Amino acid sequence: MDAARPRTAGRRHRRTVIVSTASAGATALALLFGPADALPPAFWAMALLAVVVDARPYVVPGRRASAVILPSICFTFAVALAWGAAPAIAVQLVAVAVAGARMRQSLRRTVHLGVQHVAALGAAAGVAGLGRLRVDPSPDWWDALVICAAAIAWITARHAVAGLVRGLTSDSRAPARRRRGHADLLATAALLLLGPVVLVAALVSPALLPLALLALHAVHRMVRWAGESERATRFDPLTGLPNRRALQTAMAERPADRRRALLLLDLDRFRAVNDALGHGAGDRLLSRVADRLTAVVPAHDLVVRLGGDEFAVLATRVEDPASARRIAQHLAEALSRPFPLDGTPVELSASIGIALQAGRRDGSTLLREAESAMYEAKQRGDQVAVHGPEAAKHTPDRLSLVADLRTALRRDPPDDGIVLYYQPQIAIATGEVVGVEALLRWRHPRRGTIGPEELLRAAEPTPVMRLLTARVLEEVVAQLAAWREAGVPLRAAVNVSARDLHAGDIADRVGVLLGRYGVPADLLQLEITESALMADPHRVLETTTRLSRMGVAISLDDFGTGYSSLQHLRRLPLSEVKIDRSFVLGMAADSGDAAIVRSVIGLAEALGLRAVAEGVEDEVTWRLLAASGCHIAQGWFHARPMPAADLADWLSRYRPVRPGNRGEIDSVGTSQTSSN
């Protein structure tokens, strides 16, 4: 009951203000125009209805409070046409006061609204006077034209005054607001042109005036429908937060001289909630995340849901990257508290990417930079990453490269310029070729050949990466089918990105390809990196488990360079680990690198996994790996990466080499060097 008292008191206060204002207005009208019989009953009936209907003004969505539509204009416009500007303005000012009190507007906003309507009625009355409008129950076509001209003058004068006041009171450097549609203009025109109809009805009999309330209700419903449509296009229906479109508008409209930051949040392991508790629980969790973010973000900042499990915060008072990081940490701490959901406390975390904006109005670029930083945070296993100056310096070049790649992937091979090279993988104990790794090249029409590192660095944070993976998988599986038909059933390894693993549908795509080309699943191996694993271990575990059950081998690439826990080696359905080339290259000269390589080999052996060494470029390294028990070697010592056509020729000339036969090693090494 106590909680209801302030609300009840507020309603009583508003009613008191409205009644007092209406009484004061009636007194003012009586003083201005004398006794009631000085004006006809039709005037007083319309004046009373004007004040009454403005107790429920029509609020236009997404506009300033002073841009509301007052239903009283239907009656005051008719008064201006019939009895001139002075009585119409007097009635309108009383109605504006009632509407201002009803909407709890400040005095400044109420005065602003009153000035607009005074100017509008003055302009309309002036046009009516110049057009010699006749006021009687039987107007002609000329009167109809004058009324239309007066309505146009009313609308023009009001918007001119509103624009002038805005220009004098707001920052001139702020960009102009975009139009939100024509519903408000249509509603205003409908009310104004209803005025003459109401006037004629009042002249016939004031008793007909209440019938106009039904028409006013129809206009109100039209404005309300426009508001709902506007909200649907600018707000997320699930959480009630502004959506991506609203964020773009906010980034374009705010002053450019203020430093701001865009923080993009992607919830980690959210898919596990959907899988375990259902999509209904997932939706409720998203709503609670939205509520918690709204509670901790200041009112001057904007919280947005971009879609799925992605949210964004536009912080408008940011001094430097350090202050942006503090905001991100504050958000991360808020989300780290468990969310009670159906009696189960749900733990959540978020990867947050930050992009700073100072003096730049391109919201799309800012959003891409924040997304890139968020993805970088996921790859590194960090919670927060800031899009730095160096990344920003290369962004235009990367964006151009990604755009060219997207265009190329729309073409059919080989016109897209995508080329795959294959590097043999050799079993150290027997010297036999046990497989190949597919390595990507792109022959750019202007930049020449682009290697995999630069290409993947540009494409991986974008949706183009999935298109590229689909293109590479298609060619590799087709090549496996060709080798198998030729009697050379080689296994091929393909690198897949974190984006592919997190999407979750890569297992389905692989299954479709293997079935289409008739390739056994054990001939395909997918390589994942530690960074992809750490970004979302649960989702990666789910995807790799599906692939493993299909018979596709999983390899953990670049092992030792990331931050993954050893428990992932135990939980993931891995077939092998690949020792990063940075350790293999230095093991002959650096005892520390050699110790790391031996430790990884021993760990793989204990877990029943193959150990593959990358970057084997000389005989000494090869012999050290053999002595350490490494299973497979890959590197220039045996062969450089080569196109599929050259690989067939290389296989026909290759003789298996064992670590104990030095003469064969020398001859094979010389043969490989001369052939490349």
DSSP, residue by residue, 178-238: PP--SHHHHHHHHHHHHHHHHHHHHHH-GGGGGGHHHHHHHHHHHHHHHHHHHHHHHB-TT
What's the confidence (pLDDT) of residue 320? 80
Strand partners, 444: 448
Predicted confidence band at 445 (pLDDT cuts at 50, 70, 90)? confident
What's the confidence (pLDDT) of residue 303? 92
- Asked whether 379 and 411 are in contact (CB, 8 A), the reply is no
Pairing of strands 349-357, 260-268: antiparallel
**Single-letter code of the amino acid located at 63:** R
Mean of pLDDT over the chain: 78
What b/e readout covers 453-484, taking b as 16+ CB neighbours within 10 angstroms? eebeebbbbbebbbbbbebbbebbbebbbebb
Stretch among 32-41, 76-85, 89-98, 136-145 having the lowest mean pLDDT: 32-41
Predicted confidence band at 317 (pLDDT cuts at 50, 70, 90)? confident
Predicted confidence band at 481 (pLDDT cuts at 50, 70, 90)? very high
Pick the residue with more confidence: 507 or 137? 507
Pick the residue with more confidence: 567 or 357? 357
Stretch among 330-344, 349-363, 539-553 having the lowest mean pLDDT: 349-363
Pairing of strands 632-634, 418-427: antiparallel
Please give the sequence-ordered ranges of beta strands (E in DSSP) within 393-509, or none if there are none.
418-427, 433-444, 448-450, 492-495
How far, CA to CA in Å, does 342 sit from each of 277, 285, 334?
A: 9, 10, 20
Pick the residue with more confidence: 540 or 29? 540
How far, CA to CA in Å, does 631 sit from each of 118, 426, 430, 650?
A: 90, 9, 10, 22
What's the confidence (pLDDT) of residue 228? 59
- Asked whether 584 and 613 are in contact (CB, 8 A), the reply is yes
Stretch among 7-21, 389-403, 514-528 having the lowest mean pLDDT: 7-21
What's the confidence (pLDDT) of residue 602? 92
Look at residue 461 and tell me whether its pLDDT is greater than 80: no
Mean pLDDT for 546-572 is 76
User: What digits encode the pLDDT tens for the residues 92-137?
Assistant: 888 888 888 877 777 888 888 888 888 889 888 888 888 777 666 6
Q: Of the ranges 231-235, 393-397, 402-406, which is most confident?
A: 402-406
What burial class does residue 425 get, using C-beta atoms within 10 Å of its C-beta: 0-12 exposed, 13-18 middle, 19+ buried?
buried
How far, CA to CA in Å, does 314 sit from each of 62, 230, 334?
A: 18, 21, 17
What's the confidence (pLDDT) of residue 178? 41
Q: Count Cβ atoms below 10 Å from residue 256 Cβ, excluding itself.
A: 15
- Asked whether 458 and 404 are in contact (CB, 8 A), the reply is no
Closest CA to 60 of 240, 216, 182: 182
Pairing of strands 610-614, 632-634: parallel
Helix (H) or strand (E) holding 525: strand 524-529
User: What digits encode the pLDDT tens for the residues 15-55?
Assistant: 444 444 444 455 455 445 544 446 788 888 888 888 888 77
What's the confidence (pLDDT) of residue 235? 82
391-396: long-range pairs with CB below 8 Å, 24+: 395/365, 395/368, 395/369
Look at residue 276 and tell me whether its pLDDT is greater than 90: no
How far, CA to CA in Å, does 99 sit from each of 19, 54, 104, 216, 676?
A: 12, 5, 8, 16, 85
Pairing of strands 260-268, 310-315: antiparallel
Look at residue 311 and tell me whether its pLDDT is greater than 90: yes
User: What residues contact 580, with CB distance under 8 A and at least 6 apart?
Assistant: 558, 559, 560, 561, 614, 615
Six-digit token pair at 538? 């649960």
Closest CA to 345 of 285, 279, 267, 265: 285
pLDDT-above-70 percentage for the chain:
76
Closest CA to 72 of 156, 191, 202: 191
User: What residues contact 375, with CB distance under 8 A and at least 6 apart?
Assistant: 353, 460, 461, 498, 499
- Residue indicated by tokens 């390739």: 519
CA distance 491 to 484: 10
